[in-house]
Amino acid sequence: MTGAGERVGKFRALEVRFLHSTPPKQTDENSEAPAYIQFSDHIITDKVSHHYHIYFGDDRAALLEELENWPTYYHSDLTGEEIAEEMIAH
């Protein structure tokens, strides 16, 4: 697990990312699977997540530094309008 923070107004927002190395890459150099998968739902307490981000790649440091390309996943039962509202609020 890694943590990164940034200033939001007067407050510091905490973001927690869970970073896992993938077994296929550890055991098979020819595997096309990414070496690392990183998960973030912005939540550091016990509550329901409205969306989450999954990052993956072979460069651990690059994943931790990524701040612009955040693939976002939403619950499948949301409508397009609900997803758009969530994205605008985010």
Q: Give the model's pLDDT for residue 81.
A: 94
Please state, rounded to an integer, the average pLDDT across all residues of the chain.
75
pLDDT per position as a tens digit, 21-47: 887 666 777 788 888 888 887 776 777
3-state secondary structure 48-81: CCCEEEEEEECCHHHHHHCCCCCCEEECCCCCHH
Whose CA is closest to 15, among 57, 61, 70, 58? 70
Check residues 87 and 79 and name the one with the higher pLDDT: 79
86 Cβ neighbours under 8 A, 6+ residues apart: 50, 51, 74, 78
